[in-house]
Every structure is written in structure tokens, then in C-alpha cells.
Amino acid sequence: MTPWCLDIGATPVTGGVHFRVWSPLADSVEVIRCARGEEASCPLSRVGEYFQGTIPGMGPGDCYWYLLDGTLRRPDPASRCQPGGVHGPSQVVAPDSFAWADGQWRGVALEELITYELHVGTFTPEGTFGAAVERLDYLQELGITALELMPVAEFPGSRNWGYDGVFPFAPHHAYGGPDGLKSLVDACHRRGLAVILDVVYNHLGPEGNYLHAFAPYFTDHYRTPWGDAVNFDGPGSDGVRHYVIGNALHWISEYHLDGLRLDAIHGIYDFSAGHILRDITRAVDSLARHLGRTVHVIAESDLNDVRTIAPPESGGHGVHTQWCDDFHHSLVTLLTGERNGYYADFGLFSHLEKAFREGFVYSGEYSRHRRRRHGSPSGDQPPRRMVVFSQNHDQIGNRALGDRPSTRLSPEQLKLAAGAVILSPYLPLIFMGEEYGETAPFPYFTSHGDPALVEAVRRGRREEFAAFGWEAEVPDPQDEATFRSALIDPELRSVGWHQQVFSFYREVIRLRRQLPSFRRPEREEIQVTGLEADRVVVVR
């Protein structure tokens, strides 16, 4: 029946639970069952690099730890749920017990994606999957075709952008856990909305990462800004690749997700002869075919490397589409005149023209910010292989104050940006609240438990902005008020100029959906003409 099953973690079977964990670094692994205040342990058997076994009498809802070598008590690297957070035990979840009502759902074609990026914790006052369901009518009214959730994998504490996740298989307990996410996806599908999930395969967060004791998940062969790189090509990497590919497939299979947005693939180091991005995409494509659904693989990339999205037959990784930061930077520098940090590379009218014509603005040119030549040409790729935006969580949140364009630009400028994005030949993405000119900031926030880490993050943010030339006081990421300041309020859409902006977004989204020329443009059908004197780019 099911074309694919996760073969690691805890899986309920008749009369018990089957456990399987990749643990080549341990000599023995036991399962510690915690039930009704008592604990009992059962040994697993080694089979190759894995330990496995079925424990009778256990079932969904039971909590457990792994005990490595009789001494180290650890949660499950493939835990489906962490009801007590990153430092607590894992919980058995039945992957197939949810009563799905989306049986007819087949997904949304790549060309038809109009994506709404949202952060579950600040999208609603409750900050849960369940509360997000209550907002779906609103999103339907807006006209978008897909939600993109910032990462939901269990992270330390209750407030986090999501990129510090340490249990890649466990939807955060404070957001509503596995059933909460399934309910949200199901509700979306019933309304014709696709759901894309942001997944982080370049690192694990700094707190609550218990994977080291099990297996060589990490390597010090490469450096990432966030610590050790994930081991995709060194000794033992087969198990890591299996874990990551399994993670991608489990979201699609168990959560009916319609796409994955792979965070910062420039932090995914793989020098092997078969790149992990190719393998992930291939596995997702194969599962999607079996399921009869459309599923997207979307890369966030700072590489401007056309190989990411080029098809495998021309040597590419075959990722379906990728974020195009160059489009954003070209548009925003023209609108705001900002030139600090990476904006130093942008600001000419011709940049925006090239972004419309080809995608990557830097396709081999010298970048002052990077102090080297950057990028490869992307003009031969169909427009659907680029996702564009005038706002997203990073472009807002990585400013010192997390201030949105709506606090700096006029409503007319916001509408111009919206039109440029939504009526572009590319796939548009908007960030929650953008559609009515939300003025709440989206600053960086955390709720780490480790005081040293809290201090390091504070210092890191301050230093980052000093380097970027921003000198304003950086909100304290750890302060709950910083998190709370990010909460959006869609009621604003009926107030004053917000109303104009909202109507405009609805109208251009409607236009994009109705007019076939906007929906499925091919590169050869598009003519881009820049009229610099009038500051007009004509795209037809």
C-alpha cells in the first residue's frame, strides 16, 4: 500500500513498537521505556550499523530514551515527537493514525505556486498550527496557492525562527506536534492550498543536539558559519544521507507535504560523486510519482550556481526551483537606495533588468561584497526555476531591528514591489503580513536554555550588524518581548493605507492566476526591455 516507510525511529507494530536506530559508535543500545513514572529497559540487537528490535506492550504515546553503552541516555535522533522539548524523552507516534480528509488532493503545479511564507509562532497570537488553521479563510481570500512554513522541527525552548532545530523528524511540541501539523496540512488541502516546509539540512542547532553519540553525523572537514558541517561525504556518510533523505520523504509521506524548501544549500558540503541534493530530489520525485502527487524541491542558495536547478542530464542537481536573492536585492536597492552590506553589489537599473531577463544578476561578474567573481548564467533556465520576493523572513529579520519595508516605503512603493514580484515571470513568494503592509518587525528571536549560548547569540547578532554597517541597538533575541513584537495582525488590512495595499495584492494575485500569460511563461515568450530614463522595465 504505502510506497515508502521510514525505517528508523519508533514504529508501532502489532502488539508493540519496533525501534531502529543508526548507531555505529555504540557497542550496545537499549530502549528505556518511561511509563507511569516507572522505567524499564530492553536491549536492541545490532544489525550492521543499526540497532533494532520490537518491544511488546509499548504503543503510541509512550515515551522512551535510548541508552548507549549502558551509560548515555539520549533521545531518538529520528524522534517523531519531543513532548517535553529537546532535552526530554522521545515519544512514540503512529505515523498512519491521522484521519486525513484530503484523499483527492494532487498538489499544485510548480508554475502555479504563489507562496505565502509564515512563521507559525508569530502568525497568530496562539502561535500554533491549530490557530493557523483559523486563518486559512483569510489566505484563501488573499488568493495565494501555497503556504511555506518556516522550520517546525523541534528546537530548544518555545521561541525560535526554527533554524536551530535538533530533531528533524519532530514538529515542535509548542506548535502542536505531529497531529497539529497534520491538521493544518489537511485543512489547507481541503481549501486547495499546498503546504511547503522549510527544512534545514546544513547543520543542527547548537542546543539539544544529541546526535554525536550515535554516529558520525558531522564532520570538521568543512566549516559552516553555524558549526560543524553535516557529514554528507566522509566516512560513515551513507547513514547520514539515509537519515536526511528519510527525513525529506517522511514529511511528504506522513505529513502529505507538497514541497520542501531546503535551507541554505551553500552550507551543504558534498564533494562526493553523487551530490546529496540530486539524491534528495531524485528520491522525492520517485515518491511523488508513486503517490500521484506533485511535490516540489526548492533550494535556498547563495551560490548563484545554475547546477542547482539544471536538470541531471546537463549535469545539474535537478532541484525544481530556487530562491533568487539577486532579484530581491536589485528591486529593493532601487526602491530604498540602501547600499550597505551585500546591497553594495546592487543598485543599478540594469541589475533589475537582468534579474527579469535571466534570474541571476551575478552570473560570473565581480562582486564587491564577496571580493570575487560570482555566479553562473541562468538565462537558459525556464522562469519557474526561480522564486522571487520583495520580502522574506531573512531579508527582514536579518536587519538589526527586523524592520519591514512598510516602515520605510510609501504604499505606492510597496505596491510597485508587489507588482514586480507577483506579475514577474518567476514564482512569487510573499512574507506573512506583507500583503497589507504589516508594520510589526520580524527580529531574530530565540529561547535557548543555555546561558552561555544566549550570550553568544546576543554577541553574534551585535557583531553581525556592526559588520553590515547598521549601528542601531539590536533587540535582545532572548527577550520574550522581541518575539512578541513580531506577531502580525491581519486586522490591519482594513485600516487606512493598509487597505489599499491589501486590495492591490489581492488584485495582482488574481491577475496572475487568471491570465495564462502570467501563469506559465516560457523564457522564449518573454521580452524584457529596460527604459532606464523612465525607470521602467517592460516585461511581455
Q: Does 365 bind its own copies (CB under 8 A)?
A: no
| Span of 92-100, 146-154, 314-322, 521-529 interacting with its own copies by CB under 8 A | 314-322
Q: What is the DSSP string of 331-377?
A: HHHHHH---SGGGGG---HHHHHHHHHTS-S-SSEEETTTTEEE---
| Span of 93-101, 133-141, 313-321, 466-474 interacting with its own copies by CB under 8 A | 313-321
Q: Which of 186, 305, 325, 438 binds its own copies (CB under 8 A)?
A: 305
| Residues listed for the chain | 540
- The smaller minimum CB distance to its own copies, of residues 36 and 371, is found at 371
- The smaller minimum CB distance to its own copies, of residues 180 and 239, is found at 239
Task: Give dist(CA 240, CA 229) in Å, integer.
Answer: 12
| Distance of closest approach, residue 303 Cβ to its own copies, in angstroms | 6
- The smaller minimum CB distance to its own copies, of residues 2 and 286, is found at 286
- The smaller minimum CB distance to its own copies, of residues 149 and 306, is found at 306
- The smaller minimum CB distance to its own copies, of residues 8 and 63, is found at 8
| Distance of closest approach, residue 48 Cβ to its own copies, in angstroms | 11
| Distance of closest approach, residue 216 Cβ to its own copies, in angstroms | 8
Task: Give dist(CA 289, CA 41) in Å, integer.
Answer: 41
Q: Does 366 bind its own copies (CB under 8 A)?
A: yes
Task: Give dist(CA 420, CA 46) in Å, integer.
Answer: 57
| Distance of closest approach, residue 369 Cβ to its own copies, in angstroms | 9
Q: Does 253 bind its own copies (CB under 8 A)?
A: no
Q: Does 304 bind its own copies (CB under 8 A)?
A: yes
| Distance of closest approach, residue 351 Cβ to its own copies, in angstroms | 17
- Residues 6 or more apart whose Cβ sits within 8 Å of residue 136: 187, 188, 191, 193
**Cα angle for residues 231, 219, 243 (degrees, 5° grid):** 25
What residues act catalytically? 263, 300
| Span of 30-38, 216-224, 404-412, 490-498 interacting with its own copies by CB under 8 A | 216-224
Task: Give dist(CA 467, CA 438) in Å, integer.
Answer: 28
| Distance of closest approach, residue 306 Cβ to its own copies, in angstroms | 7
Q: Does 212 bind its own copies (CB under 8 A)?
A: no
Task: Give dist(CA 373, CA 383) in Å, integer.
Answer: 24
Task: Give dist(CA 318, CA 257) in Å, integer.
Answer: 19
| Exposed e or buried b per residue across 249-285, where buried means at least 16 C-beta atoms within 10 angstroms of its C-beta | bbbbbbbbbbbbbbbbbbbbbbeeeebbbbbbbbbbe
Q: Does 306 bind its own copies (CB under 8 A)?
A: yes
- The smaller minimum CB distance to its own copies, of residues 89 and 382, is found at 382
Paired strand residues for 47: 50
| Span of 30-38, 181-189, 309-317, 455-463 interacting with its own copies by CB under 8 A | 309-317
Q: Which of 27, 137, 220, 412 binds its own copies (CB under 8 A)?
A: 220
Neighbouring C-beta atoms of residue 529, cutoff 10 Å: 12
Q: Does 286 bind its own copies (CB under 8 A)?
A: no
Grid coordinates in use for 274?
553523487
Q: Which of 97, 286, 314, 517 binds its own copies (CB under 8 A)?
A: 314
Q: Which of 99, 273, 481, 533 binds its own copies (CB under 8 A)?
A: 273
Q: Which of 74, 80, 374, 415 binds its own copies (CB under 8 A)?
A: 374
Paired strand residues for 167: 154
Grid coordinates in use for 398?
536579518
CA dihedral (188, 398, 86, 252) positive or negative: positive
- The smaller minimum CB distance to its own copies, of residues 225 and 337, is found at 225
Task: Give dist(CA 102, CA 357) in Å, integer.
Answer: 39
- Residues 6 or more apart whose Cβ sits within 8 Å of residue 152: 120, 162, 165, 171, 172, 175, 181, 197
Q: Which of 87, 373, 462, 519 binds its own copies (CB under 8 A)?
A: 373
Q: Does 371 bind its own copies (CB under 8 A)?
A: yes
Paired strand residues for 153: 171
- Residues 6 or more apart whose Cβ sits within 8 Å of residue 451: none
DSSP, collapsed to helix, strand or coil, labels residue 300 as coil
| Distance of closest approach, residue 308 Cβ to its own copies, in angstroms | 9
Q: Does 238 bind its own copies (CB under 8 A)?
A: yes
Pair 152, 105: CB distance under 8 Å? no
Q: Does 376 bind its own copies (CB under 8 A)?
A: yes
Task: Give dist(CA 311, CA 319) in Å, integer.
Answer: 8
| Span of 162-170, 362-370, 402-410, 506-514 interacting with its own copies by CB under 8 A | 362-370
Q: Does 36 bind its own copies (CB under 8 A)?
A: no
**Cα angle for residues 23, 95, 110 (degrees, 5° grid):** 100
Q: Which of 364, 379, 469, 496 binds its own copies (CB under 8 A)?
A: 364
| Distance of closest approach, residue 262 Cβ to its own copies, in angstroms | 16
Say what angle helices 411-422 and 496-514 make with each other, to 10 degrees: 20
| Distance of closest approach, residue 157 Cβ to its own copies, in angstroms | 31
Q: Does 237 bind its own copies (CB under 8 A)?
A: yes
What is the phi-psi region of residue 214: left when phi exceeds 0, alpha when psi lies from -120 to 50, beta otherwise? alpha
Q: Which of 272, 286, 410, 494 binds its own copies (CB under 8 A)?
A: 272
| Contact set with its own copies (CB under 8 A) | 220-223, 233-238, 266, 269, 271-274, 303-307, 310, 313-316, 364, 366, 370-376
